[in-house]
Structure 1
């Protein structure tokens, strides 16, 4: 099973990328391969109609979409900016389609330098799966006071959060095994209903 971890930050050297690298290390216990996509480095343009006709500015999206198609599960991470998920991550989710994500499990993760982090999870749950039909796990992770709990070796010094991270990523792997046939059987059957009611 393959997992793609998306660090939805728009800053270089961000804490969100550190959390993504930590979760990649955790995921290595439960998935055969993993990749971290850093949205700061990728620097995608904002959604426009050119994505549908593959205009030149969207050439860098094509290998990303291909990688997503071959992934069995996802982790989407966002820092909390003004109580919201980042424009980069929301843009990323707008670019994805049912071909890449439908009926595959995804774990939502929020990163906060203080004690917050709840609002981005709620925001992404409300609209993040609208047209791509990704299946968000009922569980999520929030890394609070992240600067204090992550080490340079990509470990988490908070024992409870570390244990919870392992449990939740193992849960994600279990969902990916269970949902694999659903994606295969239903992604084409649902084409007529890809935009909802």
Structure 2
């Protein structure tokens, strides 16, 4: 019986070193696994960065990836979680011609119904910002595409776990070395 492929969020806590991103992405490349989303940022501990990587793999592959990532010298700890075990979101921005904001009442309805925020408006364009699940963002993109999108960008996933993680104590101990 073969394992099901699921979406996993892999969290990697690391020192902030040059070249680490290349080595981590090479782990996925060697296994022919596509990274669906990748976000890096500071973690809750000064001097420790966090990668949030989204992949569609089997649980066995998620375990193997985490073990390989943890072999990297700069990696402090890595985890994997299913969508059910995490709270996650993405953000996006749309740049659209300003005239549409005033000439197309449907655009105002779309903005209101999708809980989208207007970031800026000028004579040439306006910019919308939306945070939410990937399907919400894609739905908004389809709705706005009808009117013409000048630019679109979407962030990678950001996520926290539903369960308490003992990573803060581990990171504090690392930071005090």
User: Which TM-score band (shorter chain)?
Assistant: under 0.3
TM-score, structure 2 length as denominator? 0.25
TM-score, structure 1 length as denominator? 0.23
Which protein has the bigger helix share? 1
Which protein has the bigger strand share? 2
